[in-house]
């Protein structure tokens, strides 16, 4: 008996190990959702907004390394997926998006809800095609899936509702998803040349990114062999920071001074699996070598002396026997001492004195880190929550940290927490959101409630788009359009049937976190934090200092000097 396109699609997804599809139903998806309902092997996860579904699918794919799927109905429905798909694609998360289409007979007529998925999703995918005939099945679907898992990123198929109900003739082309991980490393000649560079270096430094996943053991052997400090990019934090005596912190706009100086003072910088984007943070005089499994990334951020293609674990395994044991610890010790100073300066802000309000967000983040399980999964919003997570969440081998670190989208943390909790129902999932980011996608708190997911939602409530306000100050401008009139988020959570806890005093932070983590269901923690806390970069250039000085002068002349001095005292004069 011939199958329909929808039947074959769901069967192939089942064989590929897909366990859920994230989306919002619609009539153009009816054939697909009906197959899911009848077969019961794949769970349909219903969201209030398709953007949340795409973010959740991206989180699932990042955390599991397996294919995740999201879907949207025709026109506006699948268009809502695009922001989450951009994030998944830039994070190399293997996601298949099903973009339902208008009736096939109406394509090109300006029909209601008509868009062009094959054009809309082209930039945020490795593969994007319309299935306009059953004769294209199963090949187009299989090609899309292979692109997503093989290249790491998004693939999109467009499918009209009527085409999904047409019969597929057996053609013998159906096969399972092909998943393999080849051993990729530079040639022997390139490895020997790299070893010679490292052996001749007196002050080598490593800059480690997300490509170092799975290579922690090899990195430690590398550190012992060449006595090098290791700086991590934000996406490298979860893979590099833990149990690492060579780690000297992060660099970049939200990093540590120690990370910046470890790179600036080296004579050889090895970039390992990182697409670190900030060109002004690269050293001016050092020899720079980049190793990445994606050849298109070589040299796109800075001048390179050598660029090599390879998996970091495989490359280091082959490189280590070629390296000479170094004995001079001068550069490493200097970087470690500076890191200790940076760490002490940062930790000095992470305190909570009884009766002193508002609460320091640094203190809140430190308590969350100390209280969370060793295998907790953290999702964080962009802006200030990312800064505090980068500086105060301590990683373990089992912990994970994800956010919109490459795409930089607001409102990712809560929907990513949904995807994380669905994929790992037995693990602690903690979402760290700013009040602006949380409010932007607030509707999908109902998805958490509907599926009774024990996600812990922490809202850094400073009644402001705080990071944007700081950027305005650095530009010499008074904040404009950044104030937020918020509800009591905890009472809002209680009104919909979820445990809500509001905290306004530092002495209540620890008990509140403890109560939330012990609660078996979802919790929203509404924490009132200091709106004037500054997230200063480790390297402040003249224009930034000039801009902030102009802002302070303007505020003083406008009669807001008290606010300026409060900011100075809380951030600079301790």
Q: Kindly give the confidence (pLDDT) of every residue in the chain, 574 residues in length, as a single tens digit, with 9 standing for 90 and above.
A: 689 999 999 999 999 999 999 999 999 999 999 999 999 999 999 999 999 999 999 999 999 999 999 999 999 999 999 999 999 999 999 999 999 999 999 999 999 999 999 999 999 999 999 999 999 999 999 999 999 999 999 999 999 999 999 999 888 898 899 988 889 999 999 999 999 999 999 999 999 999 999 999 999 999 999 999 999 999 999 999 999 999 999 998 888 889 999 999 999 999 999 999 988 889 989 999 999 999 999 999 999 999 999 999 999 999 999 999 999 999 999 999 999 999 998 898 899 888 888 899 999 999 999 999 999 999 999 999 999 999 999 999 999 999 999 999 999 999 999 999 999 999 999 999 999 999 999 999 999 999 999 999 999 999 998 888 888 888 888 899 989 999 999 999 999 999 999 999 999 999 999 999 999 999 999 999 998 776 655 555 545 454 445 444 444 444 444 444 444 444 443 3
| Beta sheet of 230-232, edge-to-edge order | 247-250, 230-232, 204-208, 268-272, 287-292, 306-309
Task: Please tell me the distance from the alpha carbon of residue 455 to that of residue 428, in angstroms, as a whole number.
Answer: 7
The answer, yes or no, to whether the previous bond of 60 is cis (omega within 30 of 0) is no
Cα gap 574→571, rounded to integer Å = 7
First-last CA distance in the chain? 77
Local structure of residue 124 (DSSP, 8 states): G
In CATH terms, the superfamily for domain 349-571 is Thiamin diphosphate (ThDP)-binding fold, Pyr/PP domains (3.40.50.970)
Strand partners, 46: 23
Backbone angles phi and psi of 127, in degrees to 5: -150, 135
- For 362, counting Cβ atoms within 10 Å of its Cβ (0-12 exposed, 13-18 middle, 19+ buried), the class is buried
Q: Please give the Cα distance from 102 to 114 (Å, whole number).
A: 6
- In this structure, CATH architecture of domain 188-342: 3-Layer(aba) Sandwich (3.40)
197 close to 37: Cβ distance less than 8 angstroms: no
Q: Is 523 helix (H, G, I), strand (E, B) or coil?
A: strand
Tokens standing for 417? 């927490």
Helix or strand holding residue 436 (H, E)? helix 435-440
Q: Is CATH 3.40.50.970 what the domain over 3-168 is classified as, yes or no? A: yes
Q: At what angle do helices 30-39 and 5-15 cross, to 10 degrees?
A: 50
Are the C-beta atoms of residues 238 and 398 closer than 8 Å to each other? no
Whether 3-168 shares its CATH topology with 349-571 is answered yes
Q: Where are the domains of the chain?
A: 3-168, 188-342, 349-571
The confidence score (pLDDT) of residue 569 equals: 44
- C-beta of residue 44 within 8 angstroms of C-beta of residue 20: yes
pTM recorded for the entire structure: 0.92
420 with 377: CB under 8 angstroms? Answer: yes
Q: Are 42 and 14 in contact (CB under 8 A)?
A: yes
Lookup: tokens for 161: 């509702």
């Amino acid at each position: 008996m011939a199958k329909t396109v929808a039947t074959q699609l769901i069967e192939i997804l089942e064989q590929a190990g897909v366990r859920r599809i994230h989306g919002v139903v619609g009539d153009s998806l009816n054939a697909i959702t009906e197959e899911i309902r009848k077969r019961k092997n794949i769970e349909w996860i219903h969201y209030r907004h398709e953007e949340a579904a795409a973010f959740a699918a991206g989180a699932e794919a990042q955390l599991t390394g397996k294919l995740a799927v999201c879907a949207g109905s025709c026109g506006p429905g699948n268009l809502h997926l695009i922001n989450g798909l951009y994030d998944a694609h830039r994070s190399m998360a293997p996601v298949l998006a099903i973009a339902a289409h208008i009736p096939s007979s109406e394509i090109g007529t300006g029909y209601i809800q008509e868009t062009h998925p094959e054009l809309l999703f082209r930039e945020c995918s490795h593969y994007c095609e319309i299935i306009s005939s059953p004769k294209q099945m199963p090949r187009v679907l299989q090609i899309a899936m292979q692109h997503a898992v093989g290249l790491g990123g998004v693939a999109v198929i467009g499918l009209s509702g009527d085409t999904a109900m047409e019969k597929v003739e057996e053609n013998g082309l159906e096969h399972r998803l092909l998943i393999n991980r080849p051993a990729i490393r530079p040639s022997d000649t390139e490895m020997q040349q790299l070893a010679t560079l490292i052996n001749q270096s007196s002050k080598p430094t490593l800059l480690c990114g997300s490509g170092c996943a799975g290579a922690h053991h090899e990195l430690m052997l590398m550190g012992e062999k060449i006595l090098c400090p290791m700086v991590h990019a934000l996406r490298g934090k979860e893979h590099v920071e833990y149990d690492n005596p060579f780690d000297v912190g992060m660099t970049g706009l939200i990093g540590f001074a120690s990370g910046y100086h470890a790179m600036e003072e080296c004579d050889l910088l090895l970039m390992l699996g990182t697409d670190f984007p900030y060109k002004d943070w690269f050293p001016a005089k050092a020899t720079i070598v980049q190793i990445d499994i994606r050849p298109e990334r070589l040299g796109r951020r800075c001048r390179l002396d050598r660029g090599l293609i390879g998996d970091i674990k495989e490359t280091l395994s082959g490189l280590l026997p070629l390296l000479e044991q170094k004995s001079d610890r001068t550069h490493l010790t200097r970087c470690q001492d500076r890191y200790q100073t940076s760490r002490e300066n940062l930790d000095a802000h992470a305190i909570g004195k009884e009766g002193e309000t508002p609460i320091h967000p640094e203190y809140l983040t430190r308590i969350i880190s100390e209280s969370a399980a060793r295998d907790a999964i953290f999702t964080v919003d962009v802006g200030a929550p990312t800064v505090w997570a980068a500086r105060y969440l301590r990683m373990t081998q089992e912990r994970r940290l994800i956010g919109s670190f490459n795409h930089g989208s607001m409102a990712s943390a809560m929907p990513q927490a949904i995807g994380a909790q669905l994929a790992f129902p037995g693990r602690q999932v903690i979402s760290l959101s700013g009040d602006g980011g949380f409010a932007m996608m607030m509707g999908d708190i109902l998805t958490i409630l509907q599926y009774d997911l024990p996600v812990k939602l922490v809202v850094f409530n400073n009644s402001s788009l705080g990071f944007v306000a700081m950027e305005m100050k650095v530009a010499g401008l008074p904040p404009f359009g950044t104030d937020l009139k918020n509800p009591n988020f905890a009472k809002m959570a209680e009104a919909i049937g979820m445990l809500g806890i509001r905290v306004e005093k530092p002495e209540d932070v620890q008990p509140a976190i403890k109560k939330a983590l012990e609660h078996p269901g979802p919790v929203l923690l509404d924490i009132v934090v200091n709106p004037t806390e500054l997230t200063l970069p480790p390297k402040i250039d003249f224009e930034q200092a000039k801009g902030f000085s102009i802002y302070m002068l303007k505020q003083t002349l406008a009669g807001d000097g008290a606010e300026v001095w409060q900011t100075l005292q809380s951030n600079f004069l301790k």
